[in-house]
A and B are shown apart, each in its own frame.
Chain A
Amino acid sequence: MERQSLTEKVFLHVAALLLAAVILAPVLWLFVMSISPAADLSAKPLNWWPSSVDLSRYVTLLSRVENSAGAVVTSSLANSLIVAGMATIAAIVVAVPAGWAVSRTPSVGWSLNAVVATYMLPPVALAVPLYMGLAHLGMLNSVFSLALVYLTILAPFTTWLMKSGFDGIPKEIEAAAMIDGANLWQTLRIVTLPLALPTIATAILFAFLLAWDEFFYALLFTSDLRSKTLTVAIADIAGGRVSDYGMIATAGVIAALPPVFIGLLMQRALISGLTSGGVKG
């Protein structure tokens, strides 16, 4: 590699600092708002650094007092976990066999293209009939319905990810197990699935993050604490008449913590998934 001149070195470090500031400033500000006393946030000039640390909003929002903002946040937090969890499990259950089948049987490969093409569909193209259908069945405002609807997003994408994962596992290993007398189910269980575990883990992470992030369907299909997810709860809080902006920021921090932790801890798996081609941002 080239040796860096002093000017280049200085330029690189300045640029890197600038990039770090651009990335960090909004996130840090969200956090600072969540712990600043309300008076600091409405002060002019603005108090960039909290005059004292105020954690009371976290206490309020994570308490379970009935009819409070806390009840909204805790129940929607639980709903988000349940919906994202159920949708993720269902997506993996349908994606693993389908992904393997497409990977090992070129003659059905076109069907995967059809499945992946549904990624282009804007959710608004499905929303009206889904709403009318669920209303007809009396299944609006239910975590199960929402998880089912989330499969429109999660299933095509996890299948595609699993297919590319299985493509990376040589067929010959499976053939060898078959020759040794294992039947198909044994081969898959003992040989293929353990090798596919990293891909399955990546698929689970992405599916969960996508479901956690979802807003449009949740906005349409949920109406109260029984099924509202965290994204809808935040939109409610932000759109309502809260006088304390720190409350909105606190709800944001709570919603952001799980995916940010997953993002920072599972970086390697996520980036390999992102860069392998077709992952939604």
Chain B
Amino acid sequence: MSSTWLTTRAWLLMLPLLAVMVGVIGWPLAETVRLSFTDAKLVGTGGDYVGFANYTKMLSGSAFQKTLYATLWFALASVAIEMVVGVLTALLLNQQFYGRTVLRALMILPWALPTVVNATLWRLIYNPEYGAANAALTQIGLIDTYRSWLGEPDSAMWAIILADVWKNFPLVTLIALAALQAVPRDTIAASLVDGAGPLRRFRYVTLPHLAGPLMVALVLRTIEAFKVFDIIWIMTRGGPANTTRTLSILVYQEGFSFQRAGSGASLALIVTLIVSLLALAYGGLLRKTAGSMD
């Protein structure tokens, strides 16, 4: 069979996928680009060309900077905590103890719980009057008076981050655990014979095996965290005083609540650009890690 025929055949088999991708991703994306240069409204007749007005308006607004800061805060804190807790719990689950199999199985629970259910559950836990967090912390004696965890600007973001960490650290655990189980026993035995302590063993024997899979987890979690919408929408809708408003929430408000399709689109593209740059930077890092592991 000639290679041209093989290539043609491949394209034919990919045709349904490509048709779908063009229809539901390619076209909307191109349309978002076009809209971002217009003053179109969400409902009503199409808008006029306004050049870069939407971009300059969005980028210079104080809302954007504050929102970018909130998004960075959420993404960096939640992903960093998830990585550390995930690796520590994976190291624990790689040891011998009673009930290990059951505990490993339980790790899938938070991951399987739908994001919306998780967010709703934590909103109930943080409830200022009847929430379990207030009840438990008062009964232990850590706080004297009930607090509105999601209603106060000081605590709202951390409360959301905690809820996000609880749901997502098990994913890191599962990925790290699979990598740990792939560390050859001979290598560990050899390092023991050579007298390496636990810290050195982690640094020189375990970590090299973990680095690749953990990088993948880091990339995926960071991109997800940057796009965050669901958990914040359910828990605070971006409040109080916009302290938990992330970029996706801002785009939603601009494009849908205020129905300004044009400026909403320009903001959406700015977010896309940030995520793409992040992914490119990570891609380079990923190749480096993969290279050094070989």
Residues of A at the B interface (CB closer than 8 Å) are 1-2, 4, 9, 12-13, 15-16, 19-20, 22-24, 26-27, 29-30, 33, 41-42, 44-46, 90, 93-95, 97-98, 100-102, 104-105, 107-108, 111, 115, 117-133, 135, 148-149, 151-152, 155-156, 159, 209, 212-213, 215-216, 219-220, 231, 234-235, 238-239, 245, 248-249, 252, 255-256, 259-260, 262-264, 267, 270-271, 274-275, 277-281
Whether B255 and A124, one on each chain, are in contact in the complex, defined by CB atoms closer than 8 angstroms, is: yes
Q: Note all chain B residues with C-beta closer than 8 A to A100.
A: 13
The secondary-structure label for the interface of chain B is helix
Closest CB in chain A relative to B283 CB, distance in Å: 10
CA distance A152 to B121 in the complex (A): 28
Q: Note all chain B residues with C-beta closer than 8 A to A262.
A: 112
Whether A12 and B10, one on each chain, are in contact in the complex, defined by CB atoms closer than 8 angstroms, is: no
**Nearest opposing residue in chain A for B40, CB measure:** A132
8 A–B contact pairs at CB < 8 A?
Answer: A16-B92, A26-B166, A105-B7, A107-B3, A121-B275, A122-B248, A152-B24, A235-B116
How many residue-residue contacts, CB under 8 A, span A and B? 285
Whether B224 and A280, one on each chain, are in contact in the complex, defined by CB atoms closer than 8 angstroms, is: yes
CA distance A126 to B251 in the complex (A): 11
Whether B275 and A122, one on each chain, are in contact in the complex, defined by CB atoms closer than 8 angstroms, is: yes
Closest CB in chain B relative to A62 CB, distance in Å: 17
Whether A159 and B17, one on each chain, are in contact in the complex, defined by CB atoms closer than 8 angstroms, is: yes
Provided the pairs A101-B10, A105-B6, A126-B28 are in contact, do residues A238 and B114 lie with their beta carbons within 8 angstroms?
no
Whether B116 and A12, one on each chain, are in contact in the complex, defined by CB atoms closer than 8 angstroms, is: no
CA distance A151 to B117 in the complex (A): 23
CA distance A71 to B116 in the complex (A): 20
Closest CB in chain A relative to B267 CB, distance in Å: 8
Whether B121 and A26, one on each chain, are in contact in the complex, defined by CB atoms closer than 8 angstroms, is: yes
Q: B114, B124, B130, B269: which contacts A125 (Cβ < 8 A)?
A: B269
Whether A125 and B230, one on each chain, are in contact in the complex, defined by CB atoms closer than 8 angstroms, is: no
Q: Note all chain A residues with C-beta closer than 8 A to B9.
A: 101, 105
The secondary-structure label for the interface of chain A is helix
Whether A155 and B113, one on each chain, are in contact in the complex, defined by CB atoms closer than 8 angstroms, is: no
Q: State whether the Cβ of B103 lies closer than 8 Å to any Cβ in chain A.
A: yes
Whether B10 and A102, one on each chain, are in contact in the complex, defined by CB atoms closer than 8 angstroms, is: yes
Chain B, range 1-27, C-beta contacts under 8 Å to A? 3, 6-7, 9-11, 13-14, 16-18, 20-21, 24-25, 27
Closest CB in chain B relative to A200 CB, distance in Å: 15
Q: State whether the Cβ of B157 lies closer than 8 Å to any Cβ in chain A.
A: no
* Other 16 A-B pairs with CB < 8 A, given A219-B233, A234-B120: A1-B96, A16-B92, A24-B106, A27-B109, A45-B138, A95-B17, A97-B16, A98-B13, A115-B21, A117-B279, A121-B275, A124-B271, A133-B27, A215-B229, A252-B117, A275-B174
CA distance A84 to B112 in the complex (A): 15
Interface string of B83-112 (1 = CB under 8 A from A): 000000100100111111001011111111
Whether B3 and A248, one on each chain, are in contact in the complex, defined by CB atoms closer than 8 angstroms, is: no
CA distance A155 to B116 in the complex (A): 22
Whether A267 and B28, one on each chain, are in contact in the complex, defined by CB atoms closer than 8 angstroms, is: no
Chain B, range 112-153, C-beta contacts under 8 Å to A? 112-117, 120-125, 127, 129-130, 132, 135-136, 138-139
Q: State whether the Cβ of B293 lies closer than 8 Å to any Cβ in chain A.
A: no
Chain B, range 164-178, C-beta contacts under 8 Å to A? 166, 168, 170-171, 174-175, 178
**Nearest opposing residue in chain A for B31, CB measure:** A129
CA distance A100 to B139 in the complex (A): 59
**Nearest opposing residue in chain A for B225, CB measure:** A281
Most buried by A among B35, B103, B188, B269: B103
**Nearest opposing residue in chain A for B221, CB measure:** A281
Whether A245 and B16, one on each chain, are in contact in the complex, defined by CB atoms closer than 8 angstroms, is: no
Whether A256 and B117, one on each chain, are in contact in the complex, defined by CB atoms closer than 8 angstroms, is: yes
Provided the pairs A245-B124, A263-B109 are in contact, do residues A212 and B114 lie with their beta carbons within 8 angstroms?
yes
Q: Note all chain B residues with C-beta closer than 8 A to A24.
A: 106, 109
**Nearest opposing residue in chain B for A124, CB measure:** B251
